[in-house]
């Protein structure tokens, strides 16, 4: 079982803490006894997991724009964190086509700003920049991309995240690659995440949940595209493991890491919808192509490095991840104690980890 006692009383700074993965992460940090400061815009959806879990009262939540360097530096200096995890982003591919300038400003200059704030501050020992599996140049290979494969995302979102990777490397080489500077710098590239509390638009599982709650047929726009789906807890705990290990031994563990599911859990969107229907019951889906922008047909990650170097591994297969998501959605829609239910899911997941 992953020992989170390392984080007790640690000062942690999370950008994008009001988002989906950020909220799961903050809840874990709160349970571990960390002193958490979050920096982000207001929750991006309504309802929002951040509000549902009552995190406003548990963390020092600073509402601010990652593009605002001055405000970000002030928040980081006030917090004096030892560990920073950078999640803040414009995360939706289709939205990046609608507003590419905002996407690049947030995902590229946002990375510049958080690294610059860290450089000026001096308290940070461990930094993890969370990007995406879409940073790689997609050749539609049947095998997974490795950390040393070419970076060149196709669309504005994916490309901006490729740029974020390059910014991180540039800052690491220019300002942190010195034996007298004790700040470990890494990037984490994760596959598509699912889980309870995701209310985003234009994502397959939230769309499934919304349709199921309305007793409507699910609309799937690209059922034949293959993606590496995993529960949000898989990469989130991978980020925490990486942040811990490089804090303790910077030069051994810092670098770039993929966090994705096993090959058998890289499934088509249609197969994912089938799993959702099976676990929810009494619901079906239909294929409705809407002629949207370019999307990759095949994408998966080779996670050998994380498994070998960090000893990280996956816990839930894709069916278990979908079931956990369905269970959470049904609990929430039934007005159960959702904070307690979320904690039980976290504890159940942690009990199965062996890293």
Instruction: Give yes or no for a contact between 316 and 264, defined as CB atoms under 8 angstroms apart.
Output: no
The DSSP secondary structure of 134-194, one letter per residue, reads GGB-----SSPBPTTSPB--SSHHHHHHHHHHHHHHHHIIIII-STT---EEEEEEE-EEE
Instruction: Give yes or no for a contact between 77 and 70, defined as CB atoms under 8 angstroms apart.
Output: no
How do residues 306-326 score in pLDDT, each as one tens digit? 999 999 999 999 999 999 999
Write out the two tokens for 265.
């859990």
Cα separation, 233 vs 237, in Å, equals: 6
Residue 300: pLDDT band (50, 70, 90) is confident
Q: Residue 320 belongs to what domain range?
A: 5-352
- pLDDT score recorded for residue 110: 98
- pLDDT score recorded for residue 299: 85
CATH of the domain at 61: 3.40.50.720
- pLDDT score recorded for residue 296: 65
Q: What are φ and ψ of residue 102, in 5° steps?
A: -60, -40
Structural domains of the chain, count: 1
How do residues 273-284 score in pLDDT, each as one tens digit? 999 999 999 999
Average pLDDT over residues 166-175: 96
- pLDDT score recorded for residue 198: 98
- pLDDT score recorded for residue 292: 65
- pLDDT score recorded for residue 28: 98
Of 80-94, 160-174, 293-307, where does mean pLDDT reach its minimum?
293-307
Cα separation, 321 vs 328, in Å, equals: 11
Average pLDDT over residues 79-103: 96
Could you give the strand order of the β-sheet that contains 266-268, starting from the edge strand earlier in sequence? 192-194, 226-231, 266-268
Average pLDDT over residues 262-291: 92
Average pLDDT over residues 115-137: 97
The DSSP secondary structure of 18-77, one letter per residue, reads TSHHHHHHHHHHHHHT-EEEEEESSPSSSS-HHHHTTGGGTSEEEE--TT-HHHHHHHHH
């Amino acid at each position: 079982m992953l020992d989170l006692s390392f984080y007790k009383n640690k000062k942690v700074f999370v950008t994008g803490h009001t988002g989906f993965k950020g909220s799961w992460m903050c809840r874990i940090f709160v349970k571990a006894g960390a002193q958490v400061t979050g920096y982000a815009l207001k929750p991006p959806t309504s309802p929002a997991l951040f509000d549902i879990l009552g995190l406003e009262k548990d963390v020092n939540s600073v509402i601010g724009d990652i593009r605002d360097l001055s405000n970000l530096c002030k928040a980081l200096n006030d917090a004096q964190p030892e560990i920073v995890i950078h999640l803040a982003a414009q995360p939706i591919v289709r939205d990046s086509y609608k507003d590419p300038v905002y996407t690049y400003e947030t995902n590229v200059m946002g990375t510049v700003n958080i690294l610059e704030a860290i450089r000026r501050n001096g308290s940070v020992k461990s930094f993890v920049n969370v990007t995406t599996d879409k940073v790689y140049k997609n050749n539609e290979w049947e095998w997974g991309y490795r950390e040393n494969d070419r970076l060149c995302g196709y669309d504005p979102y994916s490309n901006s995240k490729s740029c974020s990777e390059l910014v991180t490397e540039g800052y690491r080489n220019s300002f942190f690659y010195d034996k007298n500077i004790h700040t470990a710098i890494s990037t984490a590239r994760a596959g598509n995440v699912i889980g309870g509390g995701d209310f985003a638009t234009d994502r397959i599982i939230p769309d499934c949940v919304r349709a199921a709650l309305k007793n409507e047929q699910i609309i799937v726009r690209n059922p034949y595209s293959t993606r590496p789906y995993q529960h949000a807890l898989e990469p989130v705990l991978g980020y925490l493991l990486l942040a811990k290990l490089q804090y303790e031994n910077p030069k051994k563990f810092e670098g770039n890491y993929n966090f994705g599911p096993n090959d058998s859990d890289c499934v088509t969107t249609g197969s994912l919808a089938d799993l959702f229907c099976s676990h929810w019951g009494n619901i079906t889906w239909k294929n409705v192509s809407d002629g949207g922008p370019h999307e990759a047909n095949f994408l998966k990650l080779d996670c050998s490095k994380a498994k070998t170097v960090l000893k990280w591994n996956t816990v839930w297969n894709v069916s278990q991840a979908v079931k956990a998501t369905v269970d959470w959605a049904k609990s929430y829609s039934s007005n159960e104690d959702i904070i307690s239910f979320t904690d039980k899911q976290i504890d159940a997941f942690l009990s199965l980890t062996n890293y």
